[in-house]
């Protein structure tokens, strides 16, 4: 049976009974996505929760709209029941408490096998329609053990992430990893940058995980956290979901006294599978993402031919094989069978990111394959331009995309969020272009610069470049600044 759950206790109970689970949608997704997931996954049971989320100081109550539930139910013909918890609402919902009272006080654990389905996690839809990714109980255990090993997690640790429990990343950080290690975890719903510092200090967080954007926000609201929160116990910070930039890496090291580190994890593989840490210590140099965790193999392949690339420093598409891999939920998703054939070949999961090996065998992020810009016949990795822009003192964040250009094919376009006190102007745009020209090949500098108050991100802080491209189509073909 497929169950959608809204609390960690019910999540564990479902696994104990041999069911497999959907993430809790109302925590993470708008109502149209809840309908999408209920239909696509042939959901059988919807668990409707109202839940107080730790910390108690947050007093944050999640209350899904009954209209949302009714719409999801109408769109999901396989849905057999809606169970409300802690009490029924008087509508056509079954009461969890009444169902529980009718059961025996002892329950037998279902004899789940390692390769039985554990849950379906949906991608963020960065490249279009979200894809359901099915994972096994064996993968859950293996990734919990491997991630706890790389961090040297003990029962004394307190894990903390901004990511919602319904996201594959947040689910691992808030349920699998801490419970597997006997550690503690802080639950909070969409905390602000300041609130992240407050909760970390109040509850003694030792290991933090999140997107690079979250660390930038935290440092922006509190540049000197050790002074403001002397009781901080943080000893590790993990960046995933988007590649960490040089400026944030340096600012975090200066402010906290230890580095925030790059890792690689994604929903199709379930969680982190490449880390720059080993047994709690950072071993990979600088911004390298590290090496595959034990049990995983990695190789770089030509994006077109699929042939393995042997030359160091040559960018290639990342291919992974190990305890978890891509298994798409094949149902009504348009083109999912063809996508599965493209992404899984001879047991290897092919991912949408390009990396390079260095001479010492460390992996370095190069670019998302679908983000690469081809301008005047030459390739530009957005991250390289973003790294330069974010070093400018006026820039808080930057995202670089390619827009159609009648002369160059694509024009390098920068979308910039300024620091407080800075005002957008054409003079500043020219200054940023000159700043880039001084530090990179001239064909790479941004021909267009658009100032925005914020960048579009998903619910875990990952940049949505697809949305940027859609919003900035009005610039396509226009005369550039220079």
Please compute the mean of the pLDDT values over residues 414-422 and round it to a whole number.
95
- Would you say the C-alpha torsion 151, 156, 161, 163 has a positive or negative sign? positive
pTM: 0.74
> Are 344 and 215 in the same domain?
yes
> Are 228 and 101 in the same domain?
no
Residues 6+ apart with CB under 8 A from 379: 372, 373
The answer to whether residue 126 sits within a structural domain is: no
Nearest partner of 24 among 12, 9, 7, 39, judged by Cα: 7
Please compute the mean of the pLDDT values over residues 288-316 and round it to a whole number.
92
Question: Considering 329, 350, 367, which residue would you say is the last residue of a domain?
Answer: 367
Q: Is the confidence at residue 65, as pLDDT, over 80?
A: no
48 band by pLDDT with thresholds 50, 70 and 90: very low
Question: Considering 367, 396, 417, which residue would you say is the last residue of a domain?
Answer: 367
Are the beta carbons of 28 and 20 closer than 8 angstroms?
no
> Are 191 and 291 in the same domain?
yes
> Are 400 and 310 in the same domain?
no
Q: How many CB atoms lie within 10 A of CB 370?
A: 11
14-18, 70-74, 379-383, 412-416: which has the minimum mean pLDDT? 14-18
DSSP helix/strand/coil, 420: coil
Q: How many CB atoms lie within 10 A of CB 13?
A: 15
What pLDDT score was predicted for residue 3? 47
For the chain, what is the mean pLDDT? 82
What is the distance between the alpha carbons of residues 59 and 317, in angstroms, rounded to a whole number?
45
DSSP helix/strand/coil, 324: coil
Number of residues written out for the chain: 482
> How far is it between the farthest Cα atoms of the chain?
75
- Domain with 396 in it: what CATH number? 3.30.300.30
Residue 389's φ and ψ, nearest 5 degrees, are -60, -40
What is the distance between the alpha carbons of residues 16 and 25, in angstroms, rounded to a whole number?
21
- pLDDT of 249-282, one tens digit each? 999 999 999 999 999 998 999 999 999 999 999 9
What pLDDT score was predicted for residue 97? 78
Are the beta carbons of 36 and 130 closer than 8 angstroms?
yes
> Are 167 and 283 in the same domain?
yes
> Are 343 and 223 in the same domain?
yes
The answer to whether residue 119 sits within a structural domain is: no
Please compute the mean of the pLDDT values over residues 379-408 and round it to a whole number.
89
What pLDDT score was predicted for residue 87? 64
Are the beta carbons of 111 and 133 closer than 8 angstroms?
no
Q: Is the confidence at residue 150, as pLDDT, over 50?
A: yes
15-19, 293-297, 374-378, 441-445: which has the minimum mean pLDDT? 15-19
The encoded tokens of residue 338 equal: 């063809």
45 band by pLDDT with thresholds 50, 70 and 90: very low
Burial (CB count within 10 angstroms: exposed 0-12, middle 13-18, buried 19+), residue 251: middle
Are the beta carbons of 82 and 92 closer than 8 angstroms?
yes
Question: Considering 367, 395, 418, which residue would you say is the last residue of a domain?
Answer: 367
**C-alpha 243, offset from chain centre:** 11
Q: Is the confidence at residue 390, as pLDDT, over 60?
A: yes
70-79, 127-136, 155-164, 408-417: which has the minimum mean pLDDT? 70-79
Q: Is the confidence at residue 168, as pLDDT, over 60?
A: yes
> Are 192 and 296 in the same domain?
yes
The answer to whether residue 243 sits within a structural domain is: yes
């Amino acid at each position: 049976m497929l169950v959608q759950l809204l609390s960690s206790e019910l999540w564990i109970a479902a696994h104990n009974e041999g069911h497999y689970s959907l993430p809790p949608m109302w925590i993470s997704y708008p109502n149209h996505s809840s309908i999408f997931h209920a239909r696509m996954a042939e959901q059988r049971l919807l668990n409707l929760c109202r839940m107080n989320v730790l910390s108690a100081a947050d007093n944050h109550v999640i209350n899904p709209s009954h209209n949302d539930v009714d719409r999801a139910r109408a769109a999901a013909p396989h849905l057999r029941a809606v169970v409300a918890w802690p009490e029924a609402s008087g509508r056509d919902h079954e009461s969890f408490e009444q169902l529980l009272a009718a059961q025996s006080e002892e329950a037998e654990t279902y004899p789940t096998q390692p390769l039985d389905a554990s849950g379906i996690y949906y991608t963020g839809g960065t490249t279009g329609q979200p894809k359901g990714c099915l994972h096994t109980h064996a993968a859950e255990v293996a990734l919990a053990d491997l991630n706890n090993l790389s961090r040297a997690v003990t029962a004394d640790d307190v894990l903390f992430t901004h990511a919602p429990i319904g996201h594959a990343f947040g689910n691992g950080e808030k349920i699998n990893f801490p419970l597997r290690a006997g550690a503690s975890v802080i639950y909070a719903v969409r905390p602000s940058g300041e609130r992240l510092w407050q909760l970390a200090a109040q509850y003694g967080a030792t290991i933090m995980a999140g997107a690079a954007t979250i660390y930038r926000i935290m440092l922006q609201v509190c540049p000197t956290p050790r002074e403001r929160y002397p009781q901080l116990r943080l000893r590790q910070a993990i960046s995933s979901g988007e590649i960490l930039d040089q400026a944030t890496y340096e600012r975090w090291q200066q402010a906290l006294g230890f580095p925030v580190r790059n890792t690689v994890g994604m929903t199709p593989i379930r969680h982190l599978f490449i880390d720059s840490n080993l047994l709690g210590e950072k071993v990979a140099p600088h911004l390298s993402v590290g090496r595959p965790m034990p049990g995983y193999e990695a190789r770089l392949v030509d994006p077109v031919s699929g042939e393995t690339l042997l030359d160091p420093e040559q960018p290639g598409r990342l291919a992974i094989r190990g305890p978890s891999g891509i298994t798409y939920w094949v149902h009504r998703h348009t083109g999912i069978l063809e996508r599965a054939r493209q992404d899984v070949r001879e047991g290897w999961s092919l991912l949408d990111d390009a990396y390079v090996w260095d001479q010492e065998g460390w992996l370095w992020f190069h670019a998302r394959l679908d983000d690469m810009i081809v301008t005047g016949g030459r390739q530009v990795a957005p991250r390289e331009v973003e790294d330069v822009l974010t070093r400018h003192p006026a820039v808080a964040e930057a995202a670089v995309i390619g827009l159609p250009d009648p002369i160059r094919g694509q024009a390098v376009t920068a979308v910039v969020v300024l620091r407080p006190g800075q005002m957008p102007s054409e003079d500043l745009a020219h200054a940023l272009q000159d700043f880039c020209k001084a530090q990179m090949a001239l064909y790479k500098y941004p021909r267009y610069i658009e100032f925005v108050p914020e960048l579009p991100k998903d619910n875990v802080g990952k940049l949505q470049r697809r949305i940027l491209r859609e919003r900035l189509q009005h610039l396509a073909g226009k005369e550039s600044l220079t």
